[in-house]
Structure 1
Amino acid sequence: MKGNAGLVCAPGPQEVQQQMVREQYTTTTEGTLIERPEDQCVYKIGIYGWRKRCLYLFVLLLLIILVVNFALTIWILKVMWFSPTGMGHLRVTKDGLRLEGESEFLFPLYAKEIHSRVDSSLLLQSTQNVTVNARNSEGEVTGRLKVGPKMVEVHSQQFQISSKDGKPLFTVDEKEVVVGTDKLRVTGPEGAHFEHSVETPLVRADPFQDLRLEAPTRSLSMDAPRGVHIKASAGKIEALSQMDIEFHSSDGMLVLDAETVCLPKLVQGTGVPSSSSQRLYEICACPDGKLYLSVAGVGTTCQESSQVCL
């Protein structure tokens, strides 16, 4: 038989013991004839030679790999600062995860709430932009805040800024913009520019500053259901126009209540000579609202100077 497992025709220990027992029994019992069993072949099975050396080498290699893996595991645990409470600066608490120091995230971060410590601020920094998304249960983006290098974009149905007590200070939606503060201050040198109508109960300048309402290329209109009140407590009011200035009252009268009312460029009526020595005039009005001067008399002289209205 080829190989290391050879065929040896020799009695084994058990056969030798059985043979001795039979011989002893034969000697003690005369007259009996017992046939001796023929010799049996015993197979020896094992690994010998180069196969045995390869097996020992393989076992030694496995032991070396096991020791190296164990050493690497210990090194990783030490380098990454693994502990029963977390890893490195990351701590696992009953309220969630606590991260101390600066951290860099290479992929999206999903969290229900992110806040800093009481004695420090929260800083989100990126070389490109910082984007915060809000999603619904189906995974669709319902709100987005994107802070880029040149612009801050907010995509939402409504944008609101509230005070610490919950009072809305600034609210924007598709229909209107609401400013909830007591005073809206515009500090730009060009003021505020409105392309459409503005509704407000009060327009007032800062102390010792002039208030100007100006329409460079169009008309300026001020409407109020219960009247428009224009007041200058420590200055004058000027109304300048390239075309006409109209004061219209649908149900009432126009009152100019002042110590002196000056109309320096009124047209003088032609019905009465202007060389009158009285130098007293009365103000007359045409049916279309045009004003003109007429020399005063005992009675009204407006009808005599009504040719101005023609």
Structure 2
Amino acid sequence: MYLKTLELSSGSILLMVREEYTTATEGARLERPEDQYFYKIGIYGWRKRCLYLFVLLLLVILVVNLALTIWILKVMWFFPTGMGHLLVTKDGLRLEGESEFLFPLYVREIRSRMDSSLLLQSTQNVTVNARNSEGEVTGRLKVGPQMVEVQNQQFQINSKDGKPLFTADEKEVAVGTGRLRVTGPEGALFEHSAETPLVQADPFQELRLESPTRSLSMNAPRGVHIKARAGNIEALSQMDIRLGSSDGMLVLDTETVRLPKLTQGTGDPAGISQGLYEICACPDGKLYLSVAAVGTTCQENSHVCL
């Protein structure tokens, strides 16, 4: 008969094997000495204490990690709908308050709240780029400390109803508003030609068209109208002033026309004409005065034209 007994104790395993032998002789029993073998399986001594210490250390690390995770979630304001001022909505992301971006931001649309304005601020400059599908820059808006730069094929400013107010490209600059007002004391400076249907000064202010070093030319296919409703019209030039009409005539419609510095011819004495003169014209258009008589005296004073 074989009998095996297994006993478990705290921290050790005791295995005891017992063997008994009996004879088949009737009335006699022979017992052999019992041999017991004990095998100890387990961790004892300093190894056991190190294991407990390691398990305790892992438990402490687990508690610290859990506490740090909860603290980070609380500090960063993690919520099911977002993180801190960043909220995730069905329309996209929503930021409350001021936000700082350290790297490029790629979005399709940026909108402010209904009751506040949108502010983009930088210590250097603010640059907005538009790129095509290949990543090439097709448009750029750069706001720097010294200059606002727009790089594009065309720059256009529209009104609320979509009407173009200001358009600029490589060929021309167009102002679509009804009136362009220049309020600076020095007026407006045009390096080349300017095309407009009307040039008008503010009420009680004088209008001056001036070219300091070159000539001033006003051309119109159907005439140039110069009108001063209250005041004088003065045309000053260092050299010549020319009033011409390619198809038509020049009309001076006024009560008095004064030419105080016309050259006077010396044909007849002034006493004969009693201070009356006639205006004569040279072939080149030069005007001069000639003493009035019964007949014309322009031919007699034609030496003025030489």
**What is the TM-score of this pair, normalised by structure 1?**
0.85
Q: Greater relative contact order (Cα 8 A, min sep 6): structure 1 or 2? A: 1
Match of 1:76 in 2: 72
Match of 1:3 in 2: none
* Matched letter for residue 120 of structure 1: S
Match of 1:13 among 2, 5, 22: 5
Q: 1:18, CA displacement in angstroms?
A: 9.2
Map 1:113-192 to 2 at 5 A. Answer: 113-192=109-188
Q: How far apart are the structure 1 equivalents of 2:294 and 2:201? A: 48
3-state SS of 2:283 partner: coil
Q: How far apart are the structure 2 equivalents of 1:251 and 1:146? A: 52
3-state SS of 2:270 partner: coil
Match of 2:270 in 1: 274
* Matched letter for residue 145 of structure 1: L
Map 1:149-298 to 2 at 5 A. Answer: 149-298=145-294
**Is 2:301 aligned against 1:309?**
no
Change (3 A) 1:92 1:18: same
**Is 2:45 aligned against 1:49?**
yes
More divergent stretch after superposition (54-63 vs 44-53): 44-53
Q: How far apart are the structure 2 equivalents of 1:248 and 1:214? A: 19
More divergent stretch after superposition (262-271 vs 145-154): 145-154
Alignment coverage as a number of residue pairs: 291
* Matched letter for residue 175 of structure 1: K
3-state SS of 2:62 partner: helix
8 Å CA contact 2:4–2:18 kept in 1: the answer is no
**Is 2:95 aligned against 1:110?**
no
**Is 2:81 aligned against 1:88?**
no
Q: How far apart are the structure 2 equivalents of 1:161 and 1:124? A: 20
Change (3 A) 1:187 1:194: same
Q: How far apart are the structure 2 equivalents of 1:41 and 1:227? A: 133
**Percent of pairs with identical residues:** 82
Q: 1:236, CA displacement in angstroms?
A: 1.4
Q: How far apart are the structure 2 equivalents of 1:116 and 1:195? A: 41
8 Å CA contact 1:128–1:148 kept in 2: the answer is yes
Q: 1:182, CA displacement in angstroms?
A: 0.8
Map 1:52-71 to 2 at 5 A. Answer: 52-71=48-67
8 Å CA contact 1:270–1:308 kept in 2: the answer is no
**1:56-100: per-residue Cα shift (whole Å, max 9, x none)?**
222221111111111111111111111111111211111111111
Q: How far apart are the structure 1 equivalents of 2:16 and 2:193? A: 123
3-state SS of 1:213 partner: coil
3-state SS of 1:13 partner: strand
Change (3 A) 1:16 1:145: closer
8 Å CA contact 1:268–1:294 kept in 2: the answer is yes
* Matched letter for residue 5 of structure 2: P
Structure 1 spans left out of the alignment, 5+ residues: 1-10, 31-35
Q: How far apart are the structure 2 equivalents of 1:152 and 1:282? A: 64
8 Å CA contact 2:16–2:38 kept in 1: the answer is no
Q: How far apart are the structure 2 equivalents of 1:308 and 1:87? A: 96
Match of 1:8 in 2: none
| RMSD (Å) for aligned C-alpha atoms | 2.6
Change (3 A) 1:208 1:18: same
